[in-house]
Structure 1
Amino acid sequence: MTSHILVIEDEAKLAQFIELELKYEGYQVSVAADGLAGLSAVRESHPDLVILDWMLPGISGIEICKRLRTTGDKVPIILLTAKDEVSDRVAGLDAGADDYVVKPFSVEELLARVRAQLRRNQEENPDILHFEDLSLNRSSREVHRGNRLIELTAKEFDLLEYLLAHPRQVLTRDQILERVWGYDFMGDSNIIEVYVRYLRRKLEANEEKRLVQTVRGVGYVLRD
């Protein structure tokens, strides 16, 4: 499972440092250099976590927090700030940030806070399923491969949801038929192969690696 982290930081060297450290830890990372670009990136790419600088050109980090929370976006936000007064920290948390790190900071502290927020978010949001760079939101019925939004039919979505709910578990054709099409389905069981083919075509449209694997004579499994 690869989490996507968006870094919104206008100080180029610091942004690059954070990006490299996060990538070394195995995260997928995007960077935005100003407030407006950052706000647009959150809304377009739906990251799993945002690392957000307080002082940004265009729109401040505090304003970005407020706008995201006003529209119902619950993405975890870690605020980076040089302001270490208690009143400033309170203002950041009140604006909607989940945590804050005061500059200058150690990368170990930042990484620990990133892990804590991602862990908490996954525990609190069972509607979002992840595997590698693939994510599925049960409530909005949106699917992303990295930053790419994938349009699925209702049945393709149901099939992928079932696979994502049981990662690395081999699912038999009978299990898939019963769960996705219903125990009373009277059609051709080859329908599974047809929909797996549709699904792979969409998931691998940009030549991404295959995640839906065939287990010959048994069924299918989601694994890398």
Structure 2
Amino acid sequence: MKILLAEDEKEMANAITAVLKHNNYFVDAVYNGEDAYNYGLADDYDCIVLDIMMPKMNGIDVLKNLRAKGIAAPVLFLTAKSDVDDRIEGLDAGADDYLTKPFAMGELLARIRAMCRRKSEIAPNDLKMGNVTLNRSTFELCTEKGALRLASKEFQMIEMLMNNPNVLISTERFMEKIWGYDSESEINVVWVYISYLRKKLTQLEADINIKAVRGAGYTLEKKK
């Protein structure tokens, strides 16, 4: 499961991120509303956790704009505000739940699990392209020739590619989304994982392939 967390208090964001990752969630953490909106548009999140009071764009405006673009991911608001009117405004903007600071991490996890369960009832569990299926629950890449379980970063990379078929994804975008802003990994780690995925696609006799565009990035395309 992949979560977008938007929280401008970095200590709080780091604490929440650590707890979520410990519970086997993938997390993208951003610290202002503008980045929250851009990330929310760019990827398919299972859940979005938004602080209301953020620089550049507040959480309610982020959510209104995402909903206007057709983004249906469940949203949980985090806020220091406890006034009933604020809760009503957030829910009317399209939020699924509301949690007032300070809160227990256990309650946050329980609410996220509940929202992700509701999404899973209506969202497809598999991504498909050509003769390849990616199972989001088991992390397995499958064709009629068999199935291979992917490591977490392999899964995240092929998921990004399958969510954006025939779209160029830059090496920097992979680094930012999967390894994070603060990663000390060298950028050539992206090529290493692309190589792993290509070998697995070949092993499965996939009719799709990852094409490199020199100096720009990678696209996932049907074989010609």
TM-score bucket (shorter structure): 0.5 to 0.7
Name the amino acid aligned to 1:21: V
* Aligned residues with identical type, % of pairs: 35
Displacement over 2 Å in runs of 4+:
163-173, 202-206, 208-215
Alignment of 1:1-224 (within 5 A): 3-126=1-124, 128-129=125-126, 136=127, 157-161=129-133, 164=135, 172-173=144-145, 206-207=192-193
The letter for the 1-side match of 2:68 is T
What code does the residue aligned with 2:193 have? E
TM-score with structure 1 length normalisation? 0.62
How many residue pairs were aligned? 162
TM-score (structure 2 length as normaliser): 0.62
Shift of 1:63: 0.4
How far apart, CA to CA, are the structure 1 residues paired with 2:56 and 2:144?
Answer: 53
Closer, same or farther: CA 69–169 of 1 in aligned 2, 3 Å: closer
Compared with structure 1, are the counterparts of its residues 212 and 100 closer, same or farther at alpha carbon in structure 2 (3 Å cutoff)?
farther
Q: How far apart in 1 are the matches of 2:136 and 2:45?
A: 20
- How far apart are residue 89 of structure 1 and its match? 1.1
- Using the alignment, how far apart are the partners of 1:58 and 1:101 within structure 2? 22
Query: 1: CA distance between counterparts of 2:55 and 2:4?
Result: 17
Which segments of 5 or more consecutive residues in structure 2 lack a partner in the other structure? 147-157, 163-189, 207-224
CA contact (8 A) 2:6 2:31 kept: yes
- Unaligned residue ranges in structure 1 (runs of 5+): 130-135, 139-156, 176-198
> How far apart are residue 94 of structure 1 and its match?
0.4
**RMSD between aligned residues:** 3.1
Match of 2:187 in 1: none
- TM-aligned CA distance change 1:75 to 1:206, over 3 Å: farther
